[in-house]
Amino acid sequence: MSEFPYERLRRFPDVEAPELQAHDATDLLLVERCLAHVADHDLTGSDIAVIGDGYGAITLALVDAGLRGIRLHQDLATGRRALVRNAEELGMLRTLDADGASAGVGPGLTASSAGDGAPFVPHELDAALLTGVRLVLLQLPKALAELAEIADAVARWAADDVVLIAGGRVKHMTLAQNEILARSFARVQPQRAERKSRLIVAEDPRDVPEAPPFPVRETHPEFGVTLAAHGGAFAGARIDVGTRVLLDVLTDRRSQLLMDGPGDAREGADSADCGRSDGQICGVVNEIVIDLGCGTGVLAAVYALTHPDARVIATDRSAAAVASARATMAANGVADRVQVTHDDAGSDLPDASADVVLLNPPFHLGTSVHTAAATRLFDAAARLLRSGGELWTVYNSSLAYKGELTRRVGRTEQVHRTPKFTVTRSIRSER
């Protein structure tokens, strides 16, 4: 077997930069340990599940080693698209099966469309991913709650003799991760560090509670909303401080998203629609509102509850966030009025289709601090907004995004500022 060309892997369409790589030493350790385990236990590809493979380094290296039918779960839409692109670049989706039929699949690869000859089969974090699996490879997630949900899922659905091999960079690992794994497995054995990475081997799954522990739910009476959260959703079922600041601003302005004064309609709106006594947004009837990077969906849910005539779309690149947002909409009785999509920066939504975009952008890419995560969403908002549409953004005050928003979206005003967070309103420039 030739050495796998890790250096050919790309992160695209995710952010790319010299300091951001598409693989790390943990990927290599997991692949090496997997191949040794396969040889010792006579496993096939369908006996293996890979969770958290960022851009395909683990899965595609195993395919290169001759394994087929590997089950796969990736949280991020960008990671899913990058893996397919990398597989295509390496020629792994253009192979022929024994009957000469194409075993290849394209960017729309799903568990139902992959077919028996596919090199890998994507799944959500569910029973189909794990039922009967005997080996699970896991890139350790940053959030302990996400690790807890994954560990419970493996113990709940995988084979009784399943072995979970989890790995991470030593600088990001904690003893708490061992403790979380020990809740679901009777034997948890950290391995010696290699190349600044470490593996943890968990075996002998414990009995699990009858109902899965996620999503968790919490009611926030100050905003009249109940949040549901899977383990990988940012802030869990809490409302993070930045989102709370934005919600406070929108509530103080009677949820109208207006410039000061009841007579100031959004630019380009019909002034006859302004000043409605029912508290609806001024200027646009049946408006389209996008919660971009929605997380658990709190902004979308509150907006739908307070603006029953609006069409609300909540979108996020995280599958855990999307599952959480859908559960949040159901918990608040607005599932029929809020569309939740798993997408990369709203790329599947049409240009100039939104009247309002709500945004609390991240400033982390995994474990790296990188402002490109926010600027990609600013560009997405500019594409999605119609001329005169509004982008409402909350961000860490130290990041001083106002100038960037003006350049990428249009005229931007500071609406509110605290020592930690700033809320701005940007008006989409004429196209």
Give the pLDDT means over successive 10-residue stretches in the chain (431 positions): 87 87 96 96 96 97 96 97 95 54 43 64 97 98 97 98 97 97 98 96 97 97 97 96 94 54 44 34 70 97 93 97 98 97 95 96 58 87 97 93 95 95 95 68
Cβ pair 172, 223 in contact under 8 A? no
Cβ pair 268, 387 in contact under 8 A? yes
Mean pLDDT score across all residues of the chain: 87
pLDDT of residue 116: 55
Residue 248 Cα to chain centre, angstroms: 25
- The structure tokens 């989409």 sit at 428
Which residues, in sequence order, are CB contacts of 113 under 8 Å at separation 6+?
105
Tokens of 347: 């790329």
pLDDT of residue 20: 87
DSSP SS3 for 230: coil
b/e 281-319 (16+ beta carbons within 10 angstroms → b): bbbbeebbbbbbbbbbbbbbbbbbbbbeebbbbbbbbbb
User: For 355-389, what is each residue's pLDDT tens digit?
Assistant: 999 999 986 444 444 467 789 999 999 999 999 99
User: For 391-431, what is each residue's pLDDT tens digit?
Assistant: 999 999 998 899 999 999 999 999 999 999 999 999 999 86
Instruction: For residue 165, give the nearest of 141, 188, 143, 193 by alpha carbon.
Output: 188
DSSP SS3 for 66: coil
pLDDT of residue 29: 97
The span from the CA of 274 to the CA of 366, in Å, is 43
User: For 286-333, what is each residue's pLDDT tens digit?
Assistant: 799 999 999 999 999 999 999 999 999 999 999 999 999 999 999 999
Set out the domains of the chain in order of their start, with CATH numbers.
6-205 (3.40.50.150), 216-427 (3.40.50.150)
pLDDT of residue 110: 52
What is the amino acid identity at position 341? T
Bridge partners, 392 (sequence order): 358, 425
pLDDT of residue 262: 43
Burial bucket for residue 3 (CB in 10 Å: 0-12, 13-18, 19+)? exposed
Helix axes 241-252, 298-306, angle to 10 degrees: 20
Residue 45 backbone zone (phi > 0: left; psi -120 to 50: alpha; other: beta): alpha
